[in-house]
Amino acid sequence: MRLHRLKRVFVGTPLPTAQQRHERLGKATALATFASDALSSVAYATEEILLVLVLASAVALSYSLPIGIAIALLIAIVVSSYRQTIRAYPKGGGAYIVTKDNLGVFPGLVAAAALLIDYVLTVAVSVAAGVAAVTSALPGMFPYRVTLCLLAVGAIATANLRGIRESGKLFAAPTYLFVGSLLALIGYGAVAAIFNLIPEAPYQPHPPGLEGIGVFLLLRAFASGCAALTGVEAVSDGVPAFKPPEAHNARIVLTWLGAILITLFLGITFLAYDLGITPQAHETVISQLARRLLGGAGLLYYEIQAVTMLILLLAANTSFADFPRLSFFLARDRFIPRQFGTQGDRLVFSNGILILGGLAAVLLVIFRGDTHALIPLYAVGVFISFTLSQAAMVRRWFRVRGDGWTWRAGLNGLGAFVTGIVMLTIAVTKFVHGAWIVVLLIPTLIAAFMTVRRHYEEVAGQLSLEGFAAPPITNSVLVLVGDLHRGVVKAVQYAQSLSPSAKAVYVEIDPERTHRLEERWGKWGMGAPLIVLTSPYRSLLGPLLEYIDHLQEKGGENHIVTIVVPEFIPARWWQQLLHNQTALLIKGQLLFRKNVVVTDVPYHLRH
C-alpha cells in the first residue's frame, strides 16, 4: 500500500481509457513536445563542427559557414520529404511502419533497430549537453555532472509517466523561451556585426577552398554537424497524438520546425564564424557567444544558459514519446516482449519509458556525462532510418501512383539519396570514433527481434486448437506436510474439495518427528491417507520428485499431479525472515516440471 501511494504521488491517479482521445495535442503544444529534440540540437551541432575543424587549425574554423549552409539545405530536403510521408500515412508514418509496409519485414527491422538506438542516444546526449550548459555557467558543478545527468533523466521519465498532455504542457514554456531567447541573441548579434559593435574574429576569414584542410576532415565536420537533424522525424512518428485533423496539423508543425531549426542553426553558425569562437573544453559555444554579445556573465547571459539547459534536458522528451510508441508497434508485431505494448495507469506505455530511462542512465555513467564522447555514436541510426523510410516512400508512390505521384516520388527519392550519402559519410568518418558500436548493435538487435518472433510463433503453434482433440486427464492430488497445524488442516480440506482421494505426503528426515506426526494425524488428518517418504540423505526434494515421477509413469502421458502447498503468512513482512522459505523452494523446483500443478494455500497469521 505504501508503494501504491508513493506511485500515485509521482505518477498521478489512473486515467480511464475513454480519456485517451482527450490526451491529444494542439499544434503549439505538439511543436514543443515533438520538436524539442531537433530544436535543442542547435545548441551543440555547431560546436561539433568546430571541434573537428579546429583539429586542422584556427583558420579552418572559417569553413564552418559553408558546412552549415550545406546542413541547412539538407534539413530543408528532409523536412519536405517527411511532409510527404505524413500525407501518405495520416495515422503515423514512423520509419518502421513505412519501411515494413513497402520494403519488407527485414528492412523495417533495420529501421526499428536504428531508431531504438538513436532514441536512447538522444536522451543521453541531450541530458549531457544540458548539464554542460549548467557547468559552463557554474564551473564548480563540473565534477558532479554525472549525478546531475542521472537526476535529470529520472525527473524527465517521471514527467512522462504522468501522461502525454501533462508532459506537453511542462515542455511548452521552456521550448518557446529557448527559441525566443536564441532568436533575440542571433538578431542582436547580426545587428552588432553589421554596425561593428563587437570585436572582429581573431583570425582572418578564409575564402572557400580546400587548401590547408583535407577533404576527409571536412566530411567528418559535416557528419558531426548533421546531429542538427536528429529528431526531425519525430513529428511523422507522432501523428496519432495530434488533435484532428491529425495529418494536416502534423504537416504544419513540421514546416514550423524546419523553418525555426534552419534559422537557429544558421544564426549560431554565422555568429560563431563572425566572432571567431573556438571550442573550449569546459565551456559551450552558446555560452561563449552569450558572453561575447551580452558583455560577460550578467543576468541575460544566465537566462540564455538557463533556457538552453531546459530545452536540452526536455529534448529527451521526444525520445520518451517515440521510443515507447515504436516499442508498442514492435510488441504488436511480436518482435519484442508483449509487456511493451501495455499502457499504464496514465495512458502511456510505462514499460518503454522505464527501459529508455534506464538505458540512457547506463550510457551517461559509462561515458561520464561527456557530450563529445557520446556524439560519435549519434546520428548513424537516425540517418539509416531516414534513408530506408524515404526509399520506402518512393516504392509506395510507384505502387499506388495517384495525382502528382511523380513529383512526390522525386522528392522522396531526393531525400533517400542525400540521406543515404550522409549515412555513409557518418559511418565512414565516425567509425573508429565510436560509430562501430552502433554498426554492431543494429544486427544484434535484429537477431534478438527474430528470436523473440520465432518464440511467439512456436508458442502460438503449440497452443493452437486447430486439429486438437482433448484427451481424458487423470489427477493425483498431494498435500505436502512438514508439520501439523491449522494451515495444514486447511490445505487438506482444500485438497479434498479437488479430489476425494487426495493424499498427504511427508518426507521423513527425523524418525522421531515422523512418529509424533503419525500419532496426531489420526485426529487432525481429515481422513486423508499419510504417505511417508524416507530420505536417508536428509534431502527434502529428492524423494518427493522421485514419488512424483513414479505417479506420472504409472498414470501415463495425460496424468496430472497437483501439489497443494500449505504456507502460513506472518503479519509483518520482516517476520518472513525468521522462518524457513521451504514452500518457496518447493514451488520454484516444481514450476517447470511437465504435468505438475502447484497450488499454494496460504494461512494468514493475525497481528
**Chain segment 536-548, per-residue pLDDT in tens:** 777 778 888 899 9
pLDDT of 19: 45
Least confident of 476-485, 576-585, 591-600: 576-585
Residue 375 lies in a domain: yes
pLDDT band at 207 (very low <50, low <70, confident <90, very high): very low
Residue type, 599: T
CA dihedral for 545, 547, 553, 555, sign (positive or negative) = negative
Residue 53 lies in a domain: yes
Residue 15 lies in a domain: no
Do residues 532 and 406 share a domain?
Answer: no
pLDDT of 211: 45
Residue 529 lies in a domain: yes
Instruction: Give the residue, 279 or 566, on which the prediction is more confident.
Output: 566
DSSP 340: G
Do residues 385 and 479 share a domain?
Answer: no
401 — alpha (psi -120 to 50), left (phi > 0) or beta? left
pLDDT band at 448 (very low <50, low <70, confident <90, very high): very high
Do residues 399 and 482 share a domain?
Answer: no
pLDDT band at 27 (very low <50, low <70, confident <90, very high): confident
Question: What mean pLDDT do residues 456-460 have?
Answer: 91
Do residues 184 and 262 share a domain?
Answer: yes
Exposure string of 189-214, with b = 16+ CB inside 10 Å and e = fewer, is beebbeeeebeebeeeebeeeeeebe
3-state secondary structure at position 300: helix
Q: Give the DSSP H or E segment for 191.
A: helix 164-194
Do residues 443 and 487 share a domain?
Answer: no
pLDDT of 168: 57
Do residues 428 and 519 share a domain?
Answer: no
Do residues 380 and 527 share a domain?
Answer: no
Instruction: Give the residue, 323 or 252, on which the prediction is more confident.
Output: 252
- Helices 105-137 and 42-53 cross at an angle (nearest 10°) of 90
Which residues form the domain of 245?
Answer: 24-455
Identify the domain boundary among 428, 455, 482: 455
Identify the domain boundary among 455, 485, 501: 455
Question: What mean pLDDT do residues 296-316 have?
Answer: 82
pLDDT of 26: 80
Q: Which grid cell is 64?
A: 564552418
Q: Would you list the DSSP string of 59-90?
A: GGGGGHHHHHHHHHHHHHHHHHHHHHHHHH-T
Closest by CA to 50, choosing from 369, 283, 391, is: 283
Query: Looking at the 3D structure of the chain, how many domains does it have?
Result: 2
CATH code for the domain of 591: 3.40.50
Separation between Cα atoms, residue 161 and residue 528, nearest integer Å: 53
Separation between Cα atoms, residue 292 and residue 134, nearest integer Å: 18
pLDDT by residue (tens digit) across 149-203?
999 898 888 877 766 544 556 667 888 899 999 999 999 888 887 777 665 555 4
pTM of the model: 0.75
pLDDT of 296: 67
Do residues 31 and 149 share a domain?
Answer: yes
Identify the domain boundary among 455, 489, 517: 455
Least confident of 73-87, 181-195, 207-221, 334-348: 207-221
Instruction: Give the residue, 338 or 201, on which the prediction is more confident.
Output: 338
CATH code for the domain of 96: 1.20.1740.10
Residue 540 lies in a domain: yes
3-state secondary structure at position 557: coil
Residue type, 480: L
Whether residue 16 has a cis bond before it, omega within 30° of 0? no
Closest by CA to 511, choosing from 527, 535, 492, is: 535
Least confident of 110-124, 221-235, 260-274, 323-337: 221-235
pLDDT of 22: 47
pLDDT at 113 over 90: yes
Closest by CA to 194, choosing from 300, 285, 270, 263, is: 270
Contacts of residue 341, defined as CB under 8 A and 6 or more positions apart, other chains included, come to 327, 328, 331, 332, 349
Do residues 92 and 135 share a domain?
Answer: yes
Residue 468 lies in a domain: no
pLDDT at 276 over 60: yes
Do residues 58 and 196 share a domain?
Answer: yes
pLDDT of 84: 87
Instruction: Give the residue, 364 or 129, on which the prediction is more confident.
Output: 364
Closest by CA to 382, choosing from 344, 438, 339, is: 438
Least confident of 36-50, 63-77, 176-190, 242-256: 36-50
pLDDT band at 266 (very low <50, low <70, confident <90, very high): very high
Least confident of 49-53, 72-76, 265-269, 356-360: 49-53
Residue 311 lies in a domain: yes
Closest by CA to 347, choosing from 331, 325, 314, 316, is: 325
Do residues 560 and 517 share a domain?
Answer: yes
pLDDT of 454: 95
pLDDT band at 213 (very low <50, low <70, confident <90, very high): low
pLDDT by residue (tens digit) across 347-400?
466 788 889 999 999 999 998 888 777 877 777 787 888 899 899 999 999 988
Residue 12 lies in a domain: no
pLDDT of 297: 66
Do residues 271 and 152 share a domain?
Answer: yes
Of 251-255, 415-419, 524-528, where does the model show the most confidence? 251-255
